Amino acid sequence: MLEAIKKQIPNLFTLGNLSCGVIAIILISDSQFERAAWFMVLASILDFFDGFMARLFKVSGEMGKQLDSLSDLVTFGVAPAFMLYVFGIHNHLGYEKFAFILLAIFSSYRLAKFNIDSRQSNSFIGVPTPITGIMVASWAFIRTSHPAVFETVFANGPAFVIFCIIISLLLISEIPLPALKIKKGPLKDYWQQLMLLGFSIISVIIFQWLAIPIIYCFYVLSSVIINFATNNKK
């Protein structure tokens, strides 16, 4: 009995992630963007802990893996895509606002691909769905803290479409990206993660909420540059 309960503990965190995503969608439909974003942040914490609990109790399995992907699709794929759509409505965009659907489509493709891609056990190929979802959610706060920057992206039809295309394609790109977890081992093996951490702290101090899209860009661009330099040395 206790063994059966122990096996379900990680799934409870995963279902908490899913529940936060559903609540976020409801809040977005009522234009409560910041509250929705906080639920997505909470979901990302639960998403971290479901894997942590699975490793702690040694109960990882195919069921948990599939459930995690389905939950991530709702919380970090559908919810942020819907947020983009409502942003488009609020900013009186025309047909451009329907570019939001790209994020949901490519998120589902990435999550399905991730489940069968053995290359992504210790690092990522393409930007993870939760990172993209949180980056999109951060615009709920940028909307009030940096309205001019927000309007540059979301009140301009072509800019909105380009934004949706870029973040969607990055999900399924072949760009190698470091995992954000630091496990046991010498710190020199995690110099890229530590560099990202230092950059993130400085960015948050200077730019507040705007730091999240900036960190997202640095995460991608620094990985591209590092991989290009590494490949040229070979």
pLDDT tens for 68-126 read 899 999 999 999 999 999 999 999 999 999 999 999 999 999 999 888 877 766 678 89
User: What's the domain count of the chain?
Assistant: 1
> 45: which 2 tokens?
């914490």
> 83: which 2 tokens?
């947020």
Nearest to residue 67, comparing CAs of 140, 11, 131, 148? 11
Residue 76 host element (H or E): none
Domain extent for 222: 2-233
Number of Cα atoms under 13 Å in the Cβ half of residue 33: 21
Residue 183 has pLDDT above 70, yes or no: no
Distance CA 49, CA 92 (A): 39
Q: What is the CATH number of the domain that holds 195?
A: 1.20.120
Residue 64 has pLDDT above 90, yes or no: no
CA angle 107, 171, 168 (to 5 degrees): 75
Distance CA 194, CA 181 (A): 10
Strand partners, 125: 176
> 144: which 2 tokens?
């009030």
CB 17 within 8 A of CB 75: yes
Residue 184's pLDDT band, with cuts at 50, 70 and 90, is low
Distance CA 40, CA 21 (A): 6
59: number of Cβ within 10 Å: 17
Distance CA 120, CA 132 (A): 17
